Amino acid sequence: MHNVVLIPGDGIGPEITESVKRVLHASGAKINWIECEAGEGTFKRTGNPIPDETIQAIEKYRVALKGPLTTPVGAGFRSINVALRQQFDLYSNIRPAKSLPNIDSPFREVNIVLFRENTQGLYIGKEHWVDDEKKHAESIAVVTRDASEKIIRAAFEYAKKYNRKKLTLVHKANILKLTTGLFLEIGKEIATDYPEVEFEDLIVDNMAMQMVLKPSQFDVIVTTNLFGDILSDLASGLVGGLGVTGAANIGDDAAMFEAVHGSAPDIAGQGLANPTALLFSALMMLDYLGESRISEKIRAAVYTVLQDYKTECTKDIGGEGTTESYTNAICRILED
C-alpha cells in the first residue's frame, strides 16, 4: 500500500481527481489517499493558499498528486505550484509528450520527454525596480553548477534507463554566455559519462522551429527553467494540448505529480472536464512508486478507449461524452 497526498485543487480539480481515483482503484493499484487542500478556494476559506497541514503531509509521505490550482490574484502570492516545487527542492520537471490514437494533430510520431530545471533561471522571480519612478525594472537569472548537474544527469539517467537514443540540450549560450553558457558547458562534460546516448545542443529559437517542423527528430530534451516552461507547452501542443499530457516534479527524496493545465472554473461541475492529463501524471507517479506494470495496464486501457470508444470521450478530445462516461469506459476495460 502506497501513501499518497492528494490535493484536488480548484475548479475542475475535484472532478478529475475523483476520476483518477476511480481508474486507479479499477486497475488494482493499492493507494492510500491522504486528502489535503491548497489553492484559491482554500485561501478564501482559511486565508492561506497552502495550509501548514498540507506542507506537513507532503513532508511526511514525500509523494503527492495535485489537481490544478489557482493562485489568488492580488493577494501578494506568487505561484503556489512554484512555491511547492521550491519548498521540497523538486528540481526536475519532467513533461512527456507522445502522440495518442485518434487525437487531432498533424503529427503522428511524437515521443518527446522534456526535462526542465525547476528551481533556478529567470523563474525564481528575482526582480527589482532600478528607479523610484518604476520606469526601469531588472530581473536576475540564476544558474549554478550544482543545480545544472542535477537536472542534466537526471535527463541522461532517464535516457539510459528507458533506452532513449538521443539527448538534446537547449540553451542560448550565443547571447547568455555566462548563465546558459555554464549550463551548456556542464552538459558537454556530463555527456562523456553516457557514450551510449547521442548528445546534441541547440539554441532555443532554432529548437522551437525544429520542434514544429519535425518533432520526431527529438527524444529526450533538457533545458533551463524558462526555456523549459515554453518548450514543454509547445511539445504538448504537438500531441493535442495540455489536456492530454502529464507532468512530474521530482527531487532527491520527494515527488509531486500534477496536471499543468488551468483549473477551468467556467466548466467546473458540468461534467465536461477531461481527466487525461492528471491520469497520465498519476501513471508517472505509479512508475515512480515501482508500479510500472499497473501504469502500462492503465495506459493501454486509455489508448483502447481513445481508439475504439471515441464517443465516450469528452468533447475536447473529439468525443460526445462526459467526464463520467470517459472514466466509466476506462474502468470497464480495466475490470474486464
Active site residues: 123, 172, 205, 229
Give the closest residue to 169 by CA, choosing from 157, 183, 159.
183
Residue with cell 521550491: 86
Q: Which of 65, 21, 190, 214 is nearest to 115 (CA)?
A: 190
Q: Which long-range contacts (CB under 8 A, 24 or more apart) does 70-74 make?
A: 70/9, 70/10, 70/11, 70/39, 70/40, 70/41, 70/262, 70/263, 70/265, 71/39, 71/40, 72/40, 72/43, 72/44
